[in-house]
C-alpha cells in the first residue's frame, strides 16, 4: 500500500514530466512564433507547410537565394546536414514559378541540456537555498524545475508524513539560478531535484542534503573599531548578528576576529563567543584593518565569509584617532605607508614604544612578579641543596681525620711504655721489634 508521501512524490514527478513535454512540443512558448529548434552537429530538416509533395519550391535564406554550404532539397524539404551556428537564420519557401511566399521558419541551433552542478546552503536554521550552474552552454532558452522531498528514514516517519514534506523549491526571478525552501527542519535531510529543460530535451540532478551540515551564516554586520582613551596599544571592536540569523537562545553564533596593521600582510586571529572584543597588542601610531566572521555555536556547518573591512587607529597624543568605516581606507594613507622600504622601517618594540608609566596593564605586572618569585625560589633551592651536600662531605672528612688521630695516639702511647711493664704482656714474636714494642 502506498503511503501519502509516495503518492505526492509521484504527482510531483508526473507534473514535472508534463511541463517538460509541453515545453518541448509547444516551441512558441520559448520565443516568437514560427521558431524551429535544431541540435548542433545534427541533420536539420525544414518543411514547407501546406504544399503537395509534387510541388516545385525554392528556398531562400535571410531573403537570399544562396543557401548554407552542403544544403539540398528533398521533395520540397530543405536538408541541412550537420548544421552549425552559422546556419541559423530565417528560411522561407517560395513557389518556383511565381515566387509566391508559401511559408517561413526561424531556425535556432543549440545543444541538449547538460547535468547541472548544484550546491545548497542554509544561512540560518529555518530556511535553506540551492544554487546551480548549467553543465553545458546550450545557446537555447532554458528553464529549471526545482522540487524537494524530505527523506523519511523509518516506517513511522512515513506514516506521519505531511504534504509539506514534498514541494517546490521557490525560485526568485531576480536570481535565475537559485531557489529557496522555507520552514525547513534543522535536523532533517532532504533530496533536491533540479531539472534543466530547453526545447531539445531535459536533464536533472539529485542532491541529498542535511540542513545541519550546510549551515553557513551570513557575515556579521555593523562592524566598528574604536580607540581606547589613554591606551596607545588597544582597540575596541564590536559587531552585530547578521540580519538573516534569528537570535534565539538555542541557536547562537560564535565569532572569529582577524586584524592587522595596514603595512603588514599577516593576520592575527582570535575566537570569541562575545559580540565585542578588546585588541591589546595593536601597534602604536598605525592604522589597523579588522574583519569578523561567524559560525554556529555548536560547530554545525562552516564559517561565514569575512565581513566588510573596518579601520581604526589606537589613541595617541600626536596622531588623531580614526573613526571606523571605509573613510580611512589603506589607499588613503600617506604615500609610502603601505609598503615599508626596508625592515628597519617597521615599528620597533623598543622601550620608546611601550606605554608610559602608570598605563601598563595590571595583568602584566602580576605576571612579571610571579615569574620573578618562581625564579628566586629555584635559585634558593639550588643554594640550599649545594650547602647540604657540602656539609655532608665536610662531616665525613672530619670523622675520618678523628679516627686516624686516635690510632696514631695509641701507637705512640704503647711505644713509650716502661720495659718493666712489658713483662706483664706476652706478644707474639712476629710483632716484636727491637726497642719498639715489648717482646
pLDDT at 248: 79
CA dist., res. 307 & res. 257, Å (int): 10
Residue 210 forms part of a structural domain: yes
Grid coordinates of 98 = 511565381
Instruction: Looking at the structure, tell me whether residues 210 and 227 fall in a common domain.
Output: no
pLDDT at 252: 92
Q: Which residues share a beta bridge with 224?
A: 238
Examine the pLDDT at 429 and tell me if it is beyond 70.
no
Residue 351 forms part of a structural domain: no
**68-77, 105-114, 213-222, 279-288: segment of lowest average pLDDT:** 68-77
Pure H helices in 277-361: none
**147-156, 221-230, 406-415: segment of lowest average pLDDT:** 406-415
Instruction: Looking at the structure, tell me whether residues 281 and 312 fall in a common domain.
Output: yes
- For the domain that residue 95 is a member of, what is the CATH number? 2.60.40.10
Instruction: Looking at the structure, tell me whether residues 157 and 94 fall in a common domain.
Output: no
Instruction: Looking at the structure, tell me whether residues 260 and 335 fall in a common domain.
Output: yes
Helix (H, G, I), strand (E, B) or coil at 285: coil
C-alpha closest to that of 276 among 303, 236, 242: 236
Residue 364 forms part of a structural domain: no
Of 86, 110, 134, the residue at which a domain comes to its end is 110
What count of Cα atoms within 13 Å lies in the side-chain half-sphere of residue 201?
Answer: 11
C-alpha closest to that of 259 among 220, 297, 291, 285: 291
Q: Which residues share a beta bridge with 133?
A: 117
Its domain, for residue 147, covers 117-214
Instruction: Looking at the structure, tell me whether residues 317 and 252 fall in a common domain.
Output: yes
Structural element, H or E, at residue 71: none
Residue 333 forms part of a structural domain: yes
| Averaged pLDDT of the chain | 78
C-alpha closest to that of 305 among 313, 315, 295, 314: 295
Query: pLDDT confidence of 137, banded at 50, 70, 90?
Result: very high
CA dist., res. 228 & res. 96, Å (int): 91
pLDDT digits (tens, 9 = 90+) for 355-397: 433 444 556 677 778 888 888 888 999 999 988 998 888 888 7
Instruction: Looking at the structure, tell me whether residues 228 and 331 fall in a common domain.
Output: yes
More confident residue, 353 or 74: 74
The count of domains in the chain is 3
Task: Give the Å distances, CA to CA, from 149 to 13, 117, 177, 187.
Answer: 11, 19, 19, 15
Examine the pLDDT at 182 and tell me if it is beyond 70.
yes
pLDDT at 136: 93
Residue 61 forms part of a structural domain: yes
- The reported pTM is 0.59
Beta strands in 169-210 (DSSP E): 170-172, 175-181, 189-198, 201-210
pLDDT digits (tens, 9 = 90+) for 335-344: 334 443 333 3
Residue 433 forms part of a structural domain: no
Instruction: Looking at the structure, tell me whether residues 141 and 165 fall in a common domain.
Output: yes
Of 214, 249, 270, the residue at which a domain comes to its end is 214
Instruction: Looking at the structure, tell me whether residues 225 and 336 fall in a common domain.
Output: yes
Examine the pLDDT at 46 and tell me if it is beyond 80.
yes
Examine the pLDDT at 21 and tell me if it is beyond 50.
no
For the chain, report the end-to-end CA distance as a whole number of angstroms.
Answer: 131
pLDDT at 205: 95
Residue 156 forms part of a structural domain: yes
Task: Give the Å distances, CA to CA, from 218 to 110, 242, 276.
Answer: 38, 6, 18
Helix (H, G, I), strand (E, B) or coil at 412: helix
What count of Cα atoms within 13 Å lies in the side-chain half-sphere of residue 257?
Answer: 24
CA dist., res. 118 & res. 304, Å (int): 19
More confident residue, 165 or 281: 281
pLDDT at 155: 57
Instruction: Looking at the structure, tell me whether residues 235 and 195 fall in a common domain.
Output: no
Examine the pLDDT at 214 and tell me if it is beyond 90.
yes
Contact present, 328 and 338 (Cβ < 8 Å): no
C-alpha closest to that of 32 among 94, 103, 107: 107
More confident residue, 306 or 164: 306
More confident residue, 418 or 110: 110
CA dist., res. 109 & res. 28, Å (int): 15
Instruction: Looking at the structure, tell me whether residues 230 and 197 fall in a common domain.
Output: no
| Sequence-distant (≥ 6) Cβ neighbours of residue 228 within 8 angstroms | 234, 235, 236, 278, 314, 315
Structural element, H or E, at residue 385: helix 362-415
How much is the CA Rg of the chain, to the nearest whole Å? Answer: 47
Instruction: Looking at the structure, tell me whether residues 210 and 225 fall in a common domain.
Output: no
- Sign of dihedral through CA atoms 67, 72, 77, 82? negative
Of 180, 214, 248, the residue at which a domain comes to its end is 214
Structural element, H or E, at residue 402: helix 362-415
At CB < 8 A and 24+ separation, what contacts does 337-341 make? 337/262, 337/263, 338/262, 338/263, 339/263, 340/263
Structural element, H or E, at residue 327: none
Residue 141 forms part of a structural domain: yes
User: Which phi and psi angles does 241 have, rounded to 5°?
Assistant: -60, 150
Instruction: Looking at the structure, tell me whether residues 194 and 274 fall in a common domain.
Output: no
Amino acid at each position: 500500500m502506498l503511503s501519502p508521501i509516495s503518492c505526492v512524490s509521484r504527482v510531483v514527478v508526473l507534473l514535472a514530466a508534463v511541463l517538460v513535454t509541453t515545453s518541448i512540443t509547444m516551441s512558441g512558448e520559448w520565443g516568437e512564433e514560427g521558431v524551429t529548434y535544431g541540435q548542433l552537429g545534427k541533420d536539420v530538416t525544414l518543411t514547407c507547410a501546406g504544399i503537395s509533395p509534387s510541388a516545385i519550391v525554392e528556398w531562400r535564406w535571410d531573403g537570399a537565394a544562396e543557401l548554407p554550404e552542403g544544403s539540398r532539397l528533398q521533395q520540397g524539404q530543405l536538408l541541412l546536414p550537420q548544421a552549425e551556428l552559422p546556419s541559423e537564420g530565417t528560411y522561407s519557401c517560395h513557389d518556383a514559378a511565381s515566387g509566391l511566399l508559401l511559408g517561413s521558419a526561424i531556425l535556432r541551433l543549440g545543444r541538449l541540456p547538460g547535468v547541472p552542478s548544484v550546491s545548497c546552503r542554509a544561512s540560518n536554521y529555518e530556511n535553506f537555498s540551492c544554487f546551480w550552474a548549467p553543465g553545458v552552454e546550450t545557446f537555447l532558452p532554458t528553464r529549471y524545475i526545482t522540487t524537494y522531498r524530505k527523506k523519511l528514514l523509518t516506517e513511522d516517519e512515513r506514516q506521519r508524513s505531511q504534504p509539506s514534506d514534498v514541494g517546490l523549491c521557490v525560485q526568485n526571478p531576480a536570481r535565475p539560478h537559485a531557489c529557496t525552501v522555507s520552514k525547513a527542519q534543522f535536523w532533517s535531510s532532504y533530496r533536491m531535484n533540479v531539472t534543466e529543460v530547453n526545447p531539445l530535451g531535459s536533464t536533472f540532478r539529485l542532491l541529498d542534503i542535511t540542513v545541519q551540515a550546510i549551515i553557513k551564516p551570513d557575515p556579521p554586520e555593523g562592524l566598528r573599531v574604536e580607540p581606547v582613551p589613554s591606551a596607545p596599544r588597544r582597540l575596541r571592536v564590536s559587531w552585530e548578528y547578521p540580519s538573516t540569523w534569528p537570535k534565539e537562545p538555542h541557536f547562537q553564533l560564535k565569532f572569529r576576529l582577524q586584524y592587522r596593521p595596514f603595512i603588514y600582510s599577516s593576520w592575527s586571529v582570535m575566537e570569541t563567543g562575545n559580540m565585542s572584543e578588546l585588541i591589546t597588542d595593536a601597534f602604536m601610531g598605525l592604522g589597523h584593518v579588522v574583519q569578523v566572521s561567524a559560525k554556529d555555536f555548536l560547530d554545525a556547518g562552516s564559517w561565514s565569509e569575512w565581513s566588510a573591512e573596518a579601520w581604526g587607529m589606537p589613541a595617541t597624543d600626536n596622531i588623531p584617532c580614526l573613526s571606523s568605516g571605509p573613510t580611512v581606507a589603506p589607499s588613503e594613507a600617506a604615500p609610502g605607508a603601505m609598503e615599508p622600504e626596508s625592515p628597519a622601517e617597521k615599528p620597533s618594540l623598543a622601550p620608546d614604544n611601550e606605554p608610559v608609566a602608570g598605563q601598563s596593564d595590571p595583568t602584566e605586572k602580576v605576571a612579571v612578579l610571579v615569574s620573578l618569585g618562581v625564579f628566586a625560589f629555584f635559585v634558593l633551592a639550588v643554594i640550599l641543596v649545594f650547602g647540604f651536600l657540602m656539609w655532608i662531605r665536610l662531616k665525613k672528612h672530619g670523622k675520618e681525620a678523628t679516627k686516624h688521630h686516635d690510632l696514631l695516639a695509641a701507637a705512640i702511647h704503647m711505644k713509650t711504655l716502661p720495659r718493666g711493664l712489658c713483662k706483664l704482656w706476652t706478644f707474639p714474636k712476629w710483632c716484636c721489634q727491637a726497642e719498639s714494642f715489648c717482646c
